[in-house]
Amino acid sequence: MLTRRRFLHTTGTASVAALAAFHNDGLSRIEAAGRRVEGAVPNEIAADETYWREIQQAFTLDRTIINLNNGGCCPSPRVVHEALKRYLDISNQAPVYHMWQVLEPNIESVRRGLAKEAGCELEELAITRNASEALQIAQLGIDLAPGDEVLTTNQDYGRMLDTWEQRVRRDRIVLTKISFPVPPPSQRDLVERFEKAITPRTKVIHVCHITNLTGHIFPVRQICDIARARGILTIVDGAHAFGHFPFAIRDLQCDYYGTSLHKWLLAPIGTGFLYVRADRIQPTWPLQPAAGSRAANIRKFEEIGTHPAANHNAIAEALVFHQGIGIERRYARMIYLRNRWIDQVKQEPRIKVHTSLREGEAGAIGTVQIVGMKTPEVSGKLWERWRIIATPIVHPEYEGVRVTPNVYTTLDEIDTFAGALKTLARS
Ligand SMILES: Cc1ncc(COP(=O)(O)O)c(C=O)c1O
């Protein structure tokens, strides 16, 4: 019998396609699992371990650690990682031909797939290397005069706040950061905080779709409607949103939307996208200058010099994997996993959950504090004693460990974490 190893050995360099076929088995298993649960509602599937077992097997993980920091960046499923490696191998044959002539033009298929999944026009979507780059294109590319105001929150992402602070120093704009309690009392309260902080000089509102600190999902549409009615531009930081919970960009009515794809979409590390509303493409300066003839073309934001085609092309495989699960099922599972650990710990007298548990206000991200214990000590002990990775969040107004499971997380891993947290809270 021809073993897999001998087959690869005997076929030599022609084995690239064969390799792909071996590993694509992951996708067919997910399709089969999907067929088995056809007709069931996402909430039922969220608790179907036979289904999720198939998804868990699609990754090549180190199961000796419990990775509950999927908010940082995520491992890709095997099929996506294989696609990335395959495209790198192809590129390296003669990059000027294989990378530039063969692979690079296929970025258009990725654009088409992403635009369809994200709910926008393909001519409004630029592929970037991460959410930071996407958001900074908007933040640094909008013309602002000294004294013009940008309104955001003090729980927006540090790098994005630093970017605005640089414009404060360089362009003498004014940055206003509103504060809000965690969890917020209501979505209306958040909208009102923005509304009250608007002045006649407010030119831009920058807001997270879902915050990285406690995972609160903001009422973005309402905030964008208020801004639009006053001629204020909106930049939405969706680093944690795309691939995590269902939405369509066109329904948000924002001007700019930036996201990472190496987080919840499970695409290769070094991928993201920027949505720019059609009428804002021309007036927005790219981060790296492009020819004037491209001023109204969304691709001007992709003029970044030589870069690997492998990363952005393998996004296509991540989309297929993602769609094999489906966003509704994925979101339902994320809530199921989050609730499973929170339900086990929330009665503990020293435990305080900072994430809203109201419907539609959060997904997988949950931030929890052990009152009377410093958060870096909590995350340190989780690692030392249980090999659990969870991120310590220390904000001037609150602190807690941020816990972010993913589709590959097992119930046993969730329960181990809940047990560890209880042990620490009782110590
Ligand atoms: C809210 C938020 N915005 C932006 C970013 C930046 O994302 P990236 O690392 O993809 O540039 C992050 C990263 O964690 C984030 O959490």
Test site for ligand 1: of 237, 273, 315, most ligand atoms within 8 A of the Cβ:
237
Test site for ligand 1: of 74, 129, 132, 133, most ligand atoms within 8 A of the Cβ:
132
Contact criterion met (CB below 8 Å) for 183 and 216? yes
Position 35 scores a pLDDT of 85
The protein residue with its alpha carbon nearest to ligand 1, atom 12, reads 239
Position 28 scores a pLDDT of 79
Position 27 scores a pLDDT of 77
Q: Can the peptide bond before residue 183 be classed as cis, meaning omega within 30 degrees of 0?
A: yes
What angle, 0 to 180 degrees and rounded to 10, lies between the N-to-C axes of helices 315-325 and 78-91?
Answer: 160
- Atom in ligand 1 nearest the alpha carbon of residue 72: 14
Test site for ligand 1: of 70, 127, 259, 260, most ligand atoms within 8 A of the Cβ:
260
For tokens 């620490």, the residue is 424
- Atom in ligand 1 nearest the alpha carbon of residue 211: 1
Position 24 scores a pLDDT of 57
**69 Cα to the center of ligand 1, angstroms:** 13
**131 Cα to the center of ligand 1, angstroms:** 6
Position 31 scores a pLDDT of 81
- Atom in ligand 1 nearest the alpha carbon of residue 71: 14
For tokens 């790198």, the residue is 88
Instruction: Return per-residue pLDDT of the chain as tens, 427 residues.
Output: 333 333 233 333 333 333 343 455 677 778 888 888 888 889 889 999 999 999 999 999 999 999 999 999 999 999 999 999 999 999 999 999 999 999 999 999 999 999 999 999 999 999 999 999 999 999 999 999 999 999 999 999 999 999 999 999 999 999 999 999 999 999 999 999 999 999 999 999 999 999 999 999 999 999 999 999 999 999 999 999 999 999 999 999 999 999 999 999 999 999 999 999 999 999 999 999 999 999 999 999 999 999 999 999 999 999 999 999 999 999 999 999 999 999 999 999 999 999 999 999 999 999 999 999 999 999 999 999 999 999 999 999 999 999 999 999 999 999 999 999 999 999 9
Position 9 scores a pLDDT of 36
The protein residue with its alpha carbon nearest to ligand 1, atom 7, reads 131
CA distance 417 to 351: 14
**157 Cα to the center of ligand 1, angstroms:** 7
- Atom in ligand 1 nearest the alpha carbon of residue 262: 10
**96 Cα to the center of ligand 1, angstroms:** 32
Position 292 scores a pLDDT of 97
- Atom in ligand 1 nearest the alpha carbon of residue 130: 10
Test site for ligand 1: of 127, 130, 155, most ligand atoms within 8 A of the Cβ:
130
Position 25 scores a pLDDT of 63
Residues lining ligand 1, judged by CB closer than 6 Å? 130-132, 157, 160, 208, 212, 237, 239-240, 260, 272
**38 Cα to the center of ligand 1, angstroms:** 35
